[in-house]
Amino acid sequence: MVFTFYPCMSIIFHPRFLDHQQWENHPESPFRLVRAVDKMMELWVWNNVVFPQPATKEDLQLVHTDRLISSVANSKNCYLDPDTFVHEDTYEIALLAAGGTIEAARWARDEGTPSVALVRPPGHHAGADFLGGFCYFNNAAIAVKKLGIRVAIVDLDVHHGNGTQSIFWDDDDVLYISTHQYGIYPGTGAAEEVGEGAGKGFTVNIPFDGGAGDASFMMAYERIIQPVIEQFKPEMVIIDIGVDAHYMDPLASLTLSSPGYLELCKRLMTIPTDCGATFVLEGGYHLEATAEVIGGLVAMCQGVPARMKYYQNMDDELSGLPNIERVVSIQKKYWDIK
């Protein structure tokens, strides 16, 4: 496997992303980005930073209903679900996050090099007509619809991307693959959920039990993720990079290490496509682990060495193998996998 360094990898960021806060001490805090930016500066890879323009209402309407858009735009200082609060500037910043993801995908398409959208608020729990889980609008889905290209979305967040799955449930131009811990929020993402209609087989859920980590994820990549994406032949791969599957994360119990995350990212970037890979920040609530992975990703793409603090492999016994076997037994009806 050949990996090419990309010194011109674009970093999509805006200072306004730091102004978004659900409430004090909420895990989805501005410090997630502050620490990540500090890490990139420490590694001397904080360059080629692009400030995006906000998405338009018309961009949101490519994915979301007017009812949902209006509820976010017109609500002030209230809960729209138990974990998701709306402030006076939430709509403005959410538009900027969607616009930042569009810009990242456009860069990867036009330049053929990877991009990373360091956006807040995240998006993969937002469906066409619902929100939740700290998400308002589905950033990745809006970018896919805006560009109108054939895309594989690989969701590495510990929580299943129920919003993304629902948006592309019957779509055969978008492949959605999710690795996640099963049985936690939002309660979706069973292996049997494969899409319907034209989209049947284009949703691939790889649910793990707690404890699955590097070995299980690499096996899932080799047996399911890589062969399915290569058969799908996307023009672009978008990686929803939630760093909460990390063993340091306080909200769940998967055990990916920092090097494990970077190896997955490297492998996903080497899958042949017409465009560069696009990374979109989702979850990740241990500040130092999230910064280490995001900073390490940008450093890896630029050919800069980065020492890892959280490198332990806690999955020597391949604990996720039974889960992988189950997914293979279901998905081999649609894909040539073994």
- In-domain check, residue 338: no
- In-domain check, residue 63: yes
The residue among 322, 278, 324 whose CA lies nearest residue 101 is 278
Q: What number is the average pLDDT over the span 13-40?
A: 95
The residue among 139, 145, 142 whose CA lies nearest residue 120 is 139
- In-domain check, residue 1: no
Q: What is the pLDDT of residue 76?
A: 86
Catalytic residue set: 125
Q: Which of 7-16, 203-212, 244-253, 284-293 has the least mean pLDDT?
A: 7-16
Whether the CB-CB separation of 279 and 297 falls below 8 Å is answered with yes
pLDDT in tens, 87-96: 999 999 999 9
Q: What is the pLDDT of residue 250?
A: 96
- In-domain check, residue 187: yes
Rounded Cα–Cα distance for residues 39 and 327 (Å): 37
Q: What is the pLDDT of residue 99?
A: 98
Q: What number is the average pLDDT over the span 302-312?
A: 95
CATH number at residue 88: 3.40.800.20
- In-domain check, residue 71: yes
With bands split at pLDDT 50, 70 and 90, how would you rate the model's confidence at 2?
Answer: low
What is the H or E stretch that residue 31 is in? helix 31-42
With bands split at pLDDT 50, 70 and 90, how would you rate the model's confidence at 188?
Answer: very high
- In-domain check, residue 135: yes
Q: What is the pLDDT of residue 285?
A: 97
Rounded Cα–Cα distance for residues 86 and 204 (Å): 32
With bands split at pLDDT 50, 70 and 90, how would you rate the model's confidence at 1?
Answer: low
- In-domain check, residue 104: yes
Query: What phi and psi values does residue 65 have, to the nearest 5 degrees?
Result: -75, 155
Rounded Cα–Cα distance for residues 38 and 18 (Å): 13
- In-domain check, residue 280: yes
Residue ranges making up the domain that contains 182: 10-331
Whether the CB-CB separation of 138 and 163 falls below 8 Å is answered with yes
Answer yes or no: is pLDDT of 7 > 80.
no
Q: How many domains does the chain have?
A: 1
Q: What is the pLDDT of residue 179?
A: 98
pLDDT in tens, 242-290: 999 999 999 999 999 999 999 999 999 999 999 999 999 999 999 999 9
Q: What number is the average pLDDT over the span 181-190?
A: 97
